Chains A and B, each alone.
Chain A
Amino acid sequence: MNLKANRSTIGFIGVSLLIIVFVQVLISVGVLSAFWATLISIGAVMGIVSLGLNLIYGFNGQFSLGQWGFYAIGAYTAADVTYRWSQEHSASGLVIVSLVVLLVGGSFLLIRYMLSRIRGLDPLSAFSLYLIGVVIAGFLAVKIGQFIINPVTAMFNILPASLAMQIIFFLAVLLAGALAAEVSFIFGMPVLTLGSDYFGIATLGFTIIVKVLLDNSDVLLGFEEMKGARGMVGIPKLTSWLWVSLFLLAVVIVTRNLLHSSNGRAMISVREDEIAAKAMGIDLAQQKTLTFVLGSFFAGLAGALYAHINGFLHPNTFNFIKSFDPMIIIVFGGLGSVTGTVMAAFAWALVLEGVLRLVLPTGFETWRFVVYPVLLLIMMLLRPKGLFGAFEFPFLRQVLPPLRKSQGSAATTPKPTIAEGD
């Protein structure tokens, strides 16, 4: 916009890229062991999930505990896509998931267009109609998919193996995000009308329902390769530091651009005062849904990246108790602070999984979760507003436009008396 803003943009992206490359060099050279490399990747993944949750809770004020459910959906979706390619040499996962995402997304747009003419349709009714759309679109996707699996597989086989794998991985991550976003759209529609705490509980329920479904993914859902409660193995380990960090950077920039726009302001106004927002012409339902969907999209991305770090997924990772982790991170980082969220995510991963493991003497490993809540408590008591409060790096901070010295026609005629406030 102006020079200063541009400078901080270039500075921020430059410094971020430098850090990313630096860490990559450390990993390549072997200064950072595989253990620590995994941990910082997990930190970046947590950063992405938590940024999503910060949008939903920190900026839009919707107390969601469902982030972990969308994370799980993303993880298993992407894992299934890459698993089928790497283990079964079939693009069936990719084809079906992309068709589902496209057709369901298309059906949403179509239904939304049709419903936009109807005034005063309640969310539950809208939800029912969308649900019908999802069922039809999903059915069609599976049917159509059968015909194009083989050609698509053949097409990817032409490419060099590693390139094909990376492309499929990249697509899988995006599809995982998109699928999580679509699920959040349909789930959020009726549930976002609930009051704050009740919304939290309903979304907690969502996380638990997803976890239970994953526990039974082989029997009830029919995904043999997910192996239900035994845990899914054999996922290619494709998430490198470079992938996660670039995704994290992209998510940070998208978040920042969104927040400092009219949409972002509308989003925040909902958190500030719902009634005032309504009275200013803000469509609450639309803003809440939008934020929820975007936050879940980030969660889906993060889940997909997480799945390919260890190459192993277990439903217990998506336990509801763990669903508080992103919440803890954003509260520590400072609600409504992008900088704080990213920092807290790395700190959380490094301290909880890394430092605590190393610091505790052998035989005391089980003390990790005794020390952790104590740390949590002390932090809450000392810094209830989070580590960073509302602090932001310059690039992430809002730039205040320069003052307009009374030059326009409007500013010339204020009544002198108006100025005297008190």
Chain B
Amino acid sequence: MTDQNQPLLLEISALNKNFGGLRAVKNFELSIHKGELVGLIGPNGAGKTTVFNLITGIYVASSGTIKFKDQNMVGIPPFEITRTGIARTFQNIRLFPNLTVLDNVRIAYHSHAGYNLLDAIVRTPRFFHHEKELTERAQDFLGVFNLQDRQGEIAKNLPYGEQRRLEIARALAAEPQLLLLDEPAAGMNSKEVVTLMELIHFIRDRFKLTILLIEHQMRVVMGVCEWITVMDFGEVIARGNPAEIQSDPKVVEAYLGRGAAELAKKLSEKRSHVA
């Protein structure tokens, strides 16, 4: 499925983040090769979103390194990280609510709009040329997500599922190599989840992306991801392919508590483990 010979795209080592006395992320390690689809799971409050915020620079790591394309990203402002090729979506959708669908996508092109402020104010031919070009690109993008008819709609008026799709479209418009999806299936019904899973596969193949995914719905994680890292209390407690993770007693314990884990252990009676 994945090619381990592909170069490393993201390499996180010894990452720590403290909020006051709270260690939200402890010695976090994660390596993602180009083209992989990796899941990051764990119970609520395990620190998954914090990891995302660290990768995208919204929080600055207390220590450790985040190497993206062999460049350390710690301490670099978020907008520059995005411009280097990491885009993300948010757990609670964060669109630009009062802007049109089209503008939501067009904003992603701002850093390479091709014209400057003066061109815009004086309306030079350069402005018209590039504005037309980026508008068409944005419209094509909306087309990929079947949102082209919605281009004039105000984003906050879209139904939930379309908002999710728009958010992913917007992230992709930033032309990332690594896409971070934070609980894309949250709040979706089972039919929508199926659609979403297809969408994730589709965009991965279509845009040659590497994807890191946080998700609670096991169906999505197990169905989509090639590798899974499990976090609890800010630490990595397990990593492996979906099958390995499903049978890992530590994971079961983290999710269901110790009693259930022991039950699972008794049931499987293959491995013994003391937490």
A279 with B87, Cβ < 8 A, contacts A257-B120, A422-B160 known = yes
Contact assessment for B78 and A278 in the assembled complex, using a CB-CB cutoff below 8 Å: yes
- Nearest Cβ on chain A to B72's Cβ, whole angstroms: 11
Interface contact B127-A278, CB-CB below 8 Å: no
Q: Given A282-B107, A400-B151, A422-B161: A273 and B97 within 8 A (CB)? A: yes
A403 at the interface (CB under 8 A from B): yes
A265/B94 in contact, CB under 8 A: no
Task: Decide: A422 and B131 in contact? CB cutoff 8 A.
Answer: no
A404 and B113 in contact, given A268-B96, A282-B107, A417-B198 (Cβ under 8 angstroms): no
Report Cα–Cα, A283/B107, bound state, in Å: 12
Interface assignment of B28: CB less than 8 Å from any CB of chain A: no
Q: Give the residues in chain A near B110, CB-CB below 8 Å.
A: 262-263, 265-266, 280-282
In the complex with contacts A401-B102, A403-B151, A414-B146 CB distance below 8 A: yes
Q: 1/0 contact trace for B90-124 toward A, CB 8 Å?
A: 10001111111011001111110101110111110
B151-189 interface (Cβ within 8 A of A) = 151-152, 159-162, 165, 170-171, 174, 189
A275: interface (CB < 8 Å): yes
Contact A421 B96 (CB under 8 A): no
The answer to whether the Cβ of A158 comes within 8 Å of any Cβ in the partner chain is no
Are B120 and A411 within 8 A (Cβ)?
no
Chain B residues with CB below 8 A from A277, complex form: 96, 107
Q: Given that A254-B121, A262-B106, A410-B141 are contacting pairs, would A418 and B78 also be in contact in the complex, using a CB cutoff of 8 Å?
A: no
User: For the complex, would chain B's binding face be called helix, strand, loop or mixed by DSSP majority?
Assistant: helix
B: contact size bracket: 35 or more
* Contact indicator B140/A404 (Cβ below 8 Å): yes
The answer to the question of B191 belonging to the interface, with a C-beta cut-off of 8 Å to chain A, is: yes
Are A276 and B58 within 8 A (Cβ)?
A: no
B238 at the interface (CB under 8 A from A): no
Decide if B143 touches A120 in the complex (CB within 8 Å).
no
Specify which chain B residues have a CB less than 8 angstroms from the CB of A119 in the assembled complex: 75-76
Task: Determine the chain B residues whose CB is within 8 A of the CB of A414 once the complex forms.
Answer: 143-146
Complex Cα distance, B134 from A180, in Å, reads: 34
A270 CB, min distance to chain B CBs, angstroms: 10
Docked CA distance A269–B174 (Å): 15
Indicate whether A265 sits within 8 Å of B198 (C-beta atoms), given known contacts A258-B121, A421-B192.
Answer: no
Check B76–A422 contact: CB distance below 8 A: no
Instruction: Tell whether, in the assembled complex, residue A415 and residue B100 are in contact, meaning their CB atoms are under 8 Å apart.
Output: no
A418 and B94 alpha carbons, distance in the complex (Å): 21
B146 (CB) vs chain A CBs: closest residue: A419
Binding site for A on B (CB under 8 A): 56-58, 75-79, 82-83, 87-88, 90, 94-100, 102-103, 106-111, 113, 115-117, 119-123, 127-128, 131-132, 134-136, 139-141, 143-146, 148-149, 151-152, 159-162, 165, 170-171, 174, 189, 191-192, 194-195, 198-199, 202, 206
Q: List 19 A-B contacts (CB under 8 A).
A: A257-B120, A261-B115, A262-B113, A265-B103, A266-B107, A266-B110, A272-B96, A272-B97, A272-B99, A273-B94, A279-B88, A280-B107, A281-B83, A283-B77, A401-B132, A406-B148, A408-B143, A410-B143, A420-B195
Binding site for B on A (CB under 8 A): 1, 119-120, 254, 257-258, 261-266, 268-269, 272-273, 275-284, 290, 398, 400-401, 403-404, 406, 408, 410-411, 413-415, 417-422
